[in-house]
């Protein structure tokens, strides 16, 4: 009898542990931001595409043109209490940039007790978000691991996923602008460089943007330190050393956010 009690308690412990928010983050998993000390992205009840986009298990692969928008561009949110005040300021700063850049057409507002769906920003395992508004009720998670992910650019990137966008280099026309150097990609990470067909994804009739906050770094998921993505259009700028390393929304990022949310 005692052994069954021990087994039961062990199962309870493991179950609780699986859902716990880590107080101390550790790890050094490959990630598209080139950050050190990050754990491998993990979300309960979801798979990942493109490295940091969580997709509910029952829906499979999705494209941002089908990502439900947040009604009227209003995104209720809650920032977890485990973050320090400085970390909360970084997250709010990213929200503020999106709001100001769209002339408050997109707004992040504190959730209240009657909010049906909200963005729950918490220090989970890794840096990731769902794409668009995927929940019908309750909290929709966005993870910014406390020791590694809480940077202005990373918060901007994940918030833009939450608003409904995938990565820039997954556009159906991307092969006209970049070369994917598959020989340099880590084994098993090749799927992160797939593209979406034009039947699934809209370019919003706006140009390809090497400087997008949503673009991969040129060495994303590299196995040898060499580039996995190389710009093939001569724009007079060295994009290979700068793509995916921007700190703020680009002008085209802002234009795309406004277009998708029908901002004036």
* Model confidence at 261: pLDDT above 50: yes
| 74: in domain | yes
Q: Does the global pTM surpass 0.85?
A: yes
List residues bridging with 129 in a β-sheet: 53, 142
Which range (21-30, 44-53, 119-128) has the least confidence?
A: 21-30
| 8: in domain | no
- CB neighbour class for 225 (10 Å; exposed up to 12, middle 13-18, buried from 19): exposed
Task: Map residue 54 onto helix, strand or coil.
Answer: strand
pLDDT (0 to 100) of residue 67? 72
pLDDT (0 to 100) of residue 59? 54
Average pLDDT over residues 144-150: 95
Instruction: Give the integer Cα–Cα distance in Å for 250 and 127.
Output: 21
Quickly count helices (H) and strands (E) in the chain.
Answer: 4, 9
| 209: in domain | no
Which residues form the catalytic set?
A: 158
Number of domains in the chain: 1
CATH number of the domain that residue 133 is part of = 3.40.390.10
Average pLDDT over residues 95-120: 97
- Which tops the pLDDT comparison, 98 or 202? 98
Residues 6+ apart with CB under 8 A from 230: 178, 179, 181, 218, 240
| 132: in domain | yes
Instruction: Give the integer Cα–Cα distance in Å for 143 and 145.
Output: 6
pLDDT (0 to 100) of residue 254? 98
- Which tops the pLDDT comparison, 243 or 197? 243
pLDDT (0 to 100) of residue 199? 77
* Model confidence at 195: pLDDT above 60: yes
* Percentage of residues of the chain with pLDDT beyond 70: 86
- Which tops the pLDDT comparison, 236 or 83? 83
CB 76 within 8 A of CB 111: yes
| 4: in domain | no
- CB neighbour class for 10 (10 Å; exposed up to 12, middle 13-18, buried from 19): exposed
Binding residues for Zn(2+): 157, 161, 167
| 148: in domain | yes
Average pLDDT over residues 44-56: 89
Phi, psi values for residue 254, rounded to 5°: -65, -45
pLDDT (0 to 100) of residue 201? 77
Average pLDDT over residues 18-25: 39
CA atoms within 13 A on the CB side of 53: 29
| 242: in domain | no
| 125: in domain | yes
Domain of residue 53: give its range: 46-162
pLDDT tier for residue 66 given thresholds of 50, 70 and 90: low
pLDDT (0 to 100) of residue 25? 47
Average pLDDT, the chain: 86
């Amino acid at each position: 009898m005692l052994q069954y009690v021990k087994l039961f308690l062990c199962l309870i412990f493991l179950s609780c542990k699986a859902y716990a928010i880590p107080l101390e983050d550790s790890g050094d998993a490959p990630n598209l931001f080139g950050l050190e000390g990050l754990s491998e992205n993990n979300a309960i009840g979801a798979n990942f595409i493109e490295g940091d986009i969580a997709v509910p298990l029952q829906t499979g692969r999705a494209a941002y043109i089908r990502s439900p928008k947040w009604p009227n561009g209003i995104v209720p949110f809650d920032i977890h209490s485990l973050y320090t005040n400085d970390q909360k300021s970084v997250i709010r700063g990213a929200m503020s940039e999106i709001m100001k850049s769209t002339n408050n057409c997109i707004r992040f507002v504190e959730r209240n007790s009657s909010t049906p769906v909200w963005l729950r920003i918490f220090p989970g395992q890794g840096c990731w978000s769902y794409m668009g508004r995927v929940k019908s009720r309750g909290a929709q998670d966005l993870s910014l691991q406390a020791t590694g992910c809480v940077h202005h650019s990373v918060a901007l990137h994940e918030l833009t996923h939450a608003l409904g966008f995938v990565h820039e280099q997954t556009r159906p026309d991307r092969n006209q602008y970049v070369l994917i150097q598959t020989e340099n990609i880590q084994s098993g990470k090749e799927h992160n460089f797939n593209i979406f067909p034009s039947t699934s994804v809209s370019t919003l009739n706006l140009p390809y943007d090497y400087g997008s906050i949503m673009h991969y770094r040129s060495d994303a998921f590299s196995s040898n330190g060499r580039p996995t993505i190389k710009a093939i259009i001569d724009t007079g700028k060295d994009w290979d050393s700068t793509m995916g390393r921007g700190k703020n929304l680009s002008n085209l990022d802002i234009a795309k956010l406004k277009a998708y949310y029908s901002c004036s």
